[in-house]
Amino acid sequence: MPIEFQIDDGVAVITINRPEARNAIDRETALAVEAAAQQVNTDPAIRCAVITGAGGNFCAGMDLKAFLRGEVVRLPQTGFAGMTQSDLQKPFIAAVEGYALAGGFEIMLACDMVVAGSTAKFGLTEVKRGLVANAGGLVRLPRQMPVKLAAEFVLTGEIYPVERLADAGLVNRVVEEGQALAEAIKLAQVIAANGPMAVAVSRRVLKESLEWSEAELFERQFEITAPVFASADAREGAAAFAEKRKPVWKGC
């Protein structure tokens, strides 16, 4: 199977399962990731998702052998690996060990958060193969780190240690080698325990407000967030706090 997919206590884990190829993406894998991401979107039992790789590496990008065979790994609606242009409607955390290169780096950029092992290595290496990082590297990276650093990553194609990315704000947590998945699941469980409507709306504002002018920030924010304060979950959250119990969310 090109991926493994598991759900436990509101957290889905997608594992790219091609360790013999450093989890490089061929068409079969892209289609499988696309289907898994769609299940995350539509299954109400899933509150948060983690994506990782098997065998000690996250993802080495596009399978160049598959590319030479003519396989298309950029899907029409969801982009590279069925992920980089997907409308991900729930929080995604990348759990990175080993290499996250080229398209693998761009899968990571599509996620909301990143947990990485201490020996993880990252790079947008496309230019070294005469290609370009058009699965998100060129457009997402300068929105997630200083532009001059993004230019270095994109134009040199060099591979960098995790400390460089953490210093630039691209990695949330650095853990001991081999512990990235466990830590990412712990982080996902914290998110999954929160009000699903509140998480979804907060995440929407975080993303969309980057494109808003300063003059419209609060007006547009209040328009989107107002339904949360009138929701059953808001009342449940307050009642659970007062009664010193865990809330039972309805998502509305």
Active site residues: 106, 126
Residue 22: strand, helix, or coil: coil
* H or E element at residue 207: helix 196-208
| Distance from C-alpha of 135 to C-alpha of 80, rounded to nearest angstrom | 6
Beta-carbon contacts of residue 153 (< 8 Å; ≥ 6 apart):
123, 124, 137, 141, 145, 160
- Phi then psi for residue 2, to 5 deg, are -70, -20
The neighbour count for residue 250, using CB atoms within 10 Å, is: 12
Token pair 């419209």: residue:
216
- Read out DSSP for 104-134? HHHHHHTSSEEEEETT-EEE--GGGGT---T
Residue 222: strand, helix, or coil: helix
Q: Are strands 92-96 and 113-117 parallel, antiparallel or unpaired?
A: parallel
Q: Choose among 159, 178, 183: nearest CA to 61.
A: 159
